[in-house]
Copies of this chain bind each other. A is one copy, B any other.
Amino acid sequence: MAKVSTMTVARVLREPGKVAEETRSRVEAVLRRTGYTPDLVARSLAISRTGVVAVLVPHLGHSSFTDTIQGMSDVLAEDGNHILVGATGFSLEKEEALVRAFLSRRVDAMFLTGTTHAPGTVAALAGAGIPVVEGNNLPDRPIGLVVGFSNEAAARAATEHLIARGYRAIAHVGLHERNNDRMRDRHRGYAAALRAARLRIRPEWSIATDLTIDAGAAAMARLLAGDPRPRAVFCASDVLAMGALQECNRRGVRVPDDVAIAGFDDLEFASQLLPALTTIRVPRYQIGRDAGLLIRDALAGRKIARRVLDLGFELVVRGST
């Protein structure tokens, strides 16, 4: 329509400086008039880069995961990169299926939550030759890049805090640990702290349940009904901790006088509970940002100074302990 070849149009779009003023404005007029939208699919095929990054999380709808997505989105969007999300539902098989599907979609990089993956997942990723970031934990044998913190050390710090406060009868409420390295490591950190203090580890004081407030409440109810009762409870998630805390509040069990409660994650509501929740603050959003920055550098071919970023954690002591 502008009586130029497709190449000239392409140049108007990507390197306008190399096109003569006159032709350019002519082409631009046509582009505007026709509402032309460049086809990134074709472009992707041609340059073998899609500008899409895959992000796999266990579940959308928990801000512990989606805050990370937001962080990555914020960074990647700056360069016009976008995010393909997948929810694995804590299943390694689903994760593998999603990884294969996303590789077929030729994503430029991939973010995985956690460090436990099916062998096929790892193999597929290795064959793809794209940057891979594992987040939220520190793997023994990383696939590629890592942005996380030590769940074990954090849980241990929380438990040691309880011990330092004088509690000796300390229970643990966490999630099912099958395929969930974060929760497994938190449980380990708890156990390590008890062992180091030569405190008794009672199996009936370790409860694995679902990631809901209700489940936390039910777990606390079970602990309170037990004999002996624990004097403190470390919950491997603030979600559980809220349930536990409110269950105490409902029953008139005083926190922390009768039972102390510590959580994990420092979700928004933690500081607003009564009493405010002692917890472990983790850099969810920052993990996303840093993962995004790592990916950006890797895709730009820049040298990656540190392939494993330990962003640490912070024990936030509040009224519940």
Which B residues are CB-close (under 8 A) to A40?
104-106
Query: How long is the Cα–Cα vector from A61 to B65 in the complex, in angstroms?
Result: 8
In the complex, identify which listed stretch (A84-92, A176-184, A201-209) lies at the interface while the others stay far away.
Answer: A84-92
Any chain B CB within 8 A of the CB of A299? no
Quote the shortest CB–CB distance from A270 to chain B (angstroms): 10
Which B residues are CB-close (under 8 A) to A63?
61-63, 66
Any chain B CB within 8 A of the CB of A243? yes
Q: Which residue of B lies closest to A104 (CB)?
A: B40
Quote the shortest CB–CB distance from A73 to chain B (angstroms): 5
Which B residues are CB-close (under 8 A) to A80?
101
Query: How long is the Cα–Cα vector from A59 to B70 in the complex, in angstroms?
Result: 7
Task: Using C-beta atoms within 8 Å of the partner chain, give the interface range for chain A.
Answer: 35 or more
Any chain B CB within 8 A of the CB of A35? yes
Any chain B CB within 8 A of the CB of A268? yes
Any chain B CB within 8 A of the CB of A143? no
Interface of A is mostly: helix
Query: Which interface residue of A38, A82, A87, A100 has the most chain B CB atoms within 10 A?
Result: A82
Which B residues are CB-close (under 8 A) to A73?
60, 85-87
Chain A, residues 84-118, CB within 8 Å of chain B (1/0): the string is 11110000000000001111111000000000000
Q: Is the CB of B52 within 8 A of A60?
A: no
Which B residues are CB-close (under 8 A) to A285?
61
Per a CB cutoff under 8 Å, which of B38, B52, B212, B250 touches A274?
A: B250
Which B residues are CB-close (under 8 A) to A52?
84, 105
Q: Is the CB of A213 within 8 A of B268?
A: yes
Chain A, residues 33-45, CB within 8 Å of chain B (1/0): the string is 0010111111011
Which B residues are CB-close (under 8 A) to A123?
35
Q: Is the CB of A246 within 8 A of B217?
A: no
Query: How long is the Cα–Cα vector from A69 to B66 in the complex, in angstroms?
Result: 11
| Chain A positions near chain B (C-beta within 8 angstroms) | 35, 37-42, 44-45, 50, 52, 59-63, 66-67, 69-70, 73-74, 77, 80, 82-87, 100-106, 123-124, 127-128, 212-214, 217, 239, 242-243, 246, 249-250, 268-269, 272-274, 285
Could you give 6 example pairs across A and B, Cβ below 8 Å?
Answer: A37-B100, A37-B104, A60-B69, A80-B101, A83-B85, A250-B274
